[in-house]
Structure 1
Amino acid sequence: MKLVVVLMLSALPLSCYAGSGCQRLEDMIDSTIDPSVTEDQYIESLEEFIPGDTTAQLLREFRHCFLDQSNRTLSNVQVMMAAIYNSRQCASY
Structure 2
Amino acid sequence: MHPAHQFLNSLEPELRRIVYRAAQGITQLPPRLRRIVQLIHLTPKQIAEQTKLSLTSVRKYLDEIYSRLALKRKEANTLQRDVIVALAVVLYQIMNNE
> What's the TM-score, normalizing by structure 1?
0.40
> What's the TM-score, normalizing by structure 2?
0.38
